Structure 1
């Protein structure tokens, strides 16, 4: 199955996690979040469906290739705000817990423009993407394209802990909406991994993605990305990222707590 087929399957309540999307011993977190969200999205019956405002993913256990139960529940559907919960299970054991908040637009006198400005980046095609090397880089690198403009490469012994660049899918999906943004937004390696000089594993413990503008776009759009590390100690790092449409609109804020092994 390709990405779109997996998303469509997850909407039935049973997801198929295709092989080749691995990140160490676990399935890539962006795909896990997107499959869970697809299951919940299918439960929303209001027309139009309220926009997704926030998605929080707790990675409980490694998700393996194969079947996964996507148990999605709409906790409350109010006149403006809707809250949902997804428990993803494999072999009757929880592997991910996801909370989502949706919110229809409402009248408000308050308007504050984004304070984060899209960085000035070289044109995407002038930067070589992270390579996919079977057995050496994460398997899911064969599906996503990341072009690093500033910061260090993983395991390069850098003194920096930030990254900026461009990202998109290597094979564009037929459309691009909230599901695809979730699947793409988690693709960058933990920013602190550039600070080590030997192979070291890192994985997301929790991840929150906040959508602040419409993410509908052409499927092959290059999205600008910037991440900084707020703090790192005791084997955990806390990162804060921004995602922009190439027209300069801030569309998403991504926050993570990352476990660092070694």
Structure 2
């Protein structure tokens, strides 16, 4: 089942959605998909003229694949320009993903500070791609492709504070502009940057995630390679703090991300 089909299922009238095993990530479903589906339910409750500015995501528990998941949305406040919204993904009566979102319409301002340019990287065509290998790489990587330009791949014993390269959808057949739900998948496709320090496989996952979107979202196609770079700020005692950014193929800033990640090694 394609990413766009799962999004459409949440937008429809179905009371729940089943995330197929092809979107698995270890013992759970892919976190970027879980966040995106909650966001889709939230987006439906907010006026279209108020784009999402930021999301604060907590992965309360693993989303189980092949089991129905339902979505609950609560509009906490609607001001003159900003809506504050709370969304939950629920399985078997338990919250598995919690998302607090701020949606805000534009307003006139004398402040206009452009984003810094994207870093220089080798072109995607010259970079090594993480292949989908059943039983070896996470199942969701059959839907999302990553090509490394900075740092090492997971468990490569590379001590680098940065990790990044290029990312795009593999299985989306329609050439369409990406939206914020798509961006959630593209950003979270990348593994925790800490994993490149390890020489043997070990679990790692996001605990909390905050992401901010540049509005209006620069034009990016589902067929485009987007540029991603993560920086490790600090890591110790099984936790790491990582900041990242995503840029369009033309170097426009698209999203700003920060995650607290756990590593069991």
TM range, normalised to the smaller chain? over 0.9
Which deviations, in whole Å up to 9, do the C-alpha atoms of 1:154-209 show, x marking residues without a partner?
A: 11111113112010001235332111111221010100100010111100000111
Q: 1:229 aligns with which of 229, 232, 236?
A: 232
Q: Is the 8 A contact 1:33 1:98 kept in 2?
A: yes
DSSP-derived class of the 1:6 partner: helix
Number of residue-to-residue matches in the alignment: 259
* 1:215 CA displacement: 4.3
Q: Could you tell me the TM-score, scaled by structure 1's length?
A: 0.95
Map 1:140-179 to 2 at 5 A.
Answer: 140-172=140-172, 174=174, 175=176, 176-179=178-181
Structure 1 distance, partners of 2:228, 2:179, is 17
Structure 1 distance, partners of 2:213, 2:4, is 21
Q: Is the 8 A contact 1:10 1:16 kept in 2?
A: no
Where do 5+ consecutive residues of structure 2 fail to align? Answer: none
Q: Is the 8 A contact 1:144 1:184 kept in 2?
A: yes
Give the aligned CA root-mean-square deviation in angstroms: 1.4
Structure 2 distance, partners of 1:211, 1:128, is 28
Is the counterpart of residue 15 in structure 1 residue 28 in structure 2?
Answer: no
Which deviations, in whole Å up to 9, do the C-alpha atoms of 1:63-93 show, x marking residues without a partner?
A: 0112101001222222211111111110011
The corresponding residue for 2:2 is: 2
Where do 5+ consecutive residues of structure 1 fail to align? Answer: none
The corresponding residue for 2:258 is: 255
Map 1:109-120 to 2 at 5 A.
Answer: 109-115=110-116, 117-120=117-120
The corresponding residue for 1:220 is: 223
Is the counterpart of residue 238 in structure 1 residue 241 in structure 2?
Answer: yes
* 1:42 CA displacement: 1.4
Q: What stretches of structure 1 move > 6 A for 4+ residues in a row?
A: none
Structure 1 distance, partners of 2:198, 2:59, is 24
Q: 1:208 aligns with which of 207, 210, 217?
A: 210
- Of 160-169 and 174-183, deviating more is 174-183
Structure 2 distance, partners of 1:2, 1:90, is 21
* 1:216 CA displacement: 4.1
Structure 2 distance, partners of 1:64, 1:147, is 28
Structure 2 distance, partners of 1:208, 1:86, is 14
* 1:113 CA displacement: 2.0
